Structures are given as structure tokens and as C-alpha cells.
Amino acid sequence: METLKLSKPIMINGEEVTELPYDFENLTAKDKLNASKKMKAAGIPLSIPETDPDYHLYLFAEAVCKVNSAIDITDIMRMSAKDADKAASLARSFFYLDLAE
């Protein structure tokens, strides 16, 4: 399990949160499908998974929820844009950077 340190804290369940633990290693195929379903439900079309930063952000959200089920996708979507970019980059690096090699 790793942690993303937020540049701007967010409120989650009445508490100020400065870092988000996440766990990509234990995500399942179902978790990946849930990420794409949540995107579609939010009205965000999925393009090419390897290059879609929105999908990467949703994967990160699934990884956070895997560690702490009290955190919801709506909590993750309140992150600053800068933190969201970092989070999406973490997911892209974990899932897709090795595919180019």
C-alpha cells in the first residue's frame, strides 16, 4: 500500500485529509470494470484505456476505496486538479507504462 500526499487537503466524512492511501496491487478485474461503469454513470465516455486520464483517475479512486471503504468516489473527485493529475499519473504508471516495453 502506498500513499498520495495531497497538496491541498480535502474534507472526507467530516475530517480534513492530507493524504490518501491506495492499493493498486489488490485491485481485481471487477474493480477495473467498476471504474469504467462509474465513469459512464457520470457521463464521461471512456476512450482508449491506456491513454485516458479520466479512466486513470477512476482507477485511482477504486484503489483508494479498496484501502478505505468509507471513502467514496465523490470524495476523490473533490481533490484539487493538481492532486487529481498526480493520482491519474500513478494509475497510468502502474497499469500501462510497462505495456510499451
What burial letters (b/e) apply to 17-48, b meaning 16+ CB within 10 Å?
A: beebebebeebeeeebebbbeebeeeeeeeee
Phi, psi (deg, nearest 5) at residue 49: -55, -35
**pLDDT tens across 6-56, in order?**
999 999 999 999 999 999 999 999 999 999 999 999 999 988 999 999 999
Q: What is the pLDDT of residue 99?
A: 58
Q: What is the pLDDT of residue 1?
A: 86
What secondary structure letter does DSSP report for 89?
A: H
What secondary structure letter does DSSP report for 46?
A: -
Q: What is the pLDDT of residue 97?
A: 83
Name the average pLDDT for the chain. 94
Domain locations in the chain?
2-100
